[in-house]
Copies of this chain bind each other. A is one copy, B any other.
Amino acid sequence: MPQQNQQQTETTQQVSLSDKNKLGVIAKAPTKPQRVTAFDRWLLRKMSALIGHPPFVASLWDGVEYMHQTELLPVGHLKFKDRGALYWLLMDPELHFGDLYSTGRLEVEGDLLQFLEIAYDFMGRNLPNNLFNKIVKAWMNRPRVNSLSGSKNNIHHHYDIGNKFYELWLDKEAIQYTCAYFPDPDMSIEDAQIAKLHHVCRKLQLKPGDTVVEAGCGWGGLARFMAKHYGVNVKAYNISHEQIVFARSKALQEGLADKVEYIEDDYRNIKGEFDVFVSVGMLEHVGNNRYKDLGKVVDRCLKPDGRGLVHSIGRNFSMPMNAWIEKRIFPGAYPPSIKEMMDIFEPFDFAIQDVENLRLHYSKTLEHWWQRYEENLDAIREDFDEAFVRAWRLYLVGSIAAFNMSELQLFQIVFTRARRNDLPWSRAHLYTQG
């Protein structure tokens, strides 16, 4: 269960994302009322100018509203609650916006999603990319070391918050914390996650008796689904203890324990030889200089005519992870570009057969999650403080904005051993089955 720290004082709140990652100094709002100075106002105008005057109303802690003259209608109201909030945000908007929002020192009134989309848009177009910014960004975005023990800590940070938390807003059936597949955009999240699982299995051309290894199995939904519906035998690896315990008990309940083995271990320790390698939503945690190591594992464990699929958040080009998400939500996470992903495959002569970008499917998935999240706030508040609640809201909504604005992509990559010639003559089989 999540460790929580409820030692709140009058002036600080503590995020309970984990027992290690405190907000620290940024959580400390001032205790005494502050006067707004001419310099504060000058800074606010300067900030607006810096990102090209987005159509936001802004106010400082005296409540006086400011908006640059523009023909655009305002899409949100950004409220700075104290001088520190203004200064922290100016120092590094990407990292500190999240913390200031979480702790309530910064408030957004209006449509949060639209506000974030416009912020992405204006910042992408207008934020100067000078040397100072680059140095600061490089420093802030230094990757966490995903060594075997580092990975365990990073994954614990995110996935061991508690199964109960995720069950409140993920789909009920397959409990998928990865992008769903909406061939019809009006599908329910339950149907879309089942459609995703079928889509993955069809891409892998699973047939009864195949042996499958899964790297990073979450709560084990895909592994059980493959065993149940496609008659394969699965070994599924995960380093999150809570998830493995959950997955095993589900497999027992569903009578699949002889077809699916859940192994609490790192993907680098995968042993054995398999017909199929699959990894859905793990590559984001592998880290941007370890793709060749992952390829080595795949090469070691795949039979001579083997095939595989990697499903991962990605980028149109290489860039650092959003600093706040990397720090507060997903330590060690990094979404690679296709060029970077190729380091998994090219050194080992794997043949790329199919790449599909499901970017807008992730927007839609996240919309469903966000809706359920808001519907279950009371239950979430039983276990988590308000800073946590606000941080996760920002993370969900910010992710929708990032996919909508194409800051993030979702790639499914199908690959085979180079000389596998038993390939379908078209991809029609992905679309013609029940």
Contact = CB atoms under 8 A, between A and B. Distances in A.
Interface of A: 181-185, 316-318, 337-339, 342-343, 345-347, 349-357, 359-361, 404-406, 409, 411, 418-419, 421, 423, 425-428, 430-432
Given A337-B342, A428-B431, 6 more contacts: A316-B349, A356-B427, A360-B423, A404-B421, A406-B419, A431-B431
A185 to B, nearest CB: 6
21 contacts: A183-B425, A184-B425, A316-B350, A317-B346, A317-B347, A338-B352, A339-B342, A339-B343, A339-B346, A351-B357, A352-B355, A352-B357, A353-B357, A354-B356, A360-B421, A360-B425, A405-B419, A406-B421, A427-B427, A428-B431, A431-B432
Contacts of A419: 405-406
Contacts of A351: 316, 357, 359, 406, 409
Nearest to A346: B317
B337 A316 contact: no
A296 B421 CA distance: 36
Contacts of A345: 316
A336 to B, nearest CB: 11
Contacts of A353: 356-357
A20 B19 CA distance: 74
Given A316-B351, A351-B359, A355-B354, A431 B427 contact: yes
A9 B421 CA distance: 46
Contacts of A182: 425
A181 B317 CA distance: 30
A350 to B, nearest CB: 7
Nearest to A430: B427
Nearest to A409: B351
A428 B183 contact: yes
A360 B425 CA distance: 8
Given A357-B351, A419-B405, A346 B425 contact: no
A360 B346 CA distance: 19
Interface centre among A350, A353, A355, by most chain B C-beta atoms within 10 angstroms, is A355
Contacts of A423: 359-360
Contacts of A418: 316, 406
Contacts of A317: 346-347, 349
A210 B182 CA distance: 28
Contacts of A359: 351, 423
A355 B409 CA distance: 14
Contacts of A342: 337-339, 342
**Across chains A and B, which 8 residue pairs bring their CB atoms closest together, nearest first?**
A355-B355, A339-B342, A317-B346, A406-B418, A183-B426, A428-B431, A353-B357, A431-B431
A426 B421 contact: no
Nearest to A181: B426
Contacts of A431: 426-428, 431-432
Contacts of A357: 351-354
A338 B346 CA distance: 9
Contacts of A354: 355-357
Contacts of A183: 425-426, 428
A409 B349 CA distance: 11
A419 B357 CA distance: 13
A412 to B, nearest CB: 10
A335 to B, nearest CB: 13
A342 B406 CA distance: 17
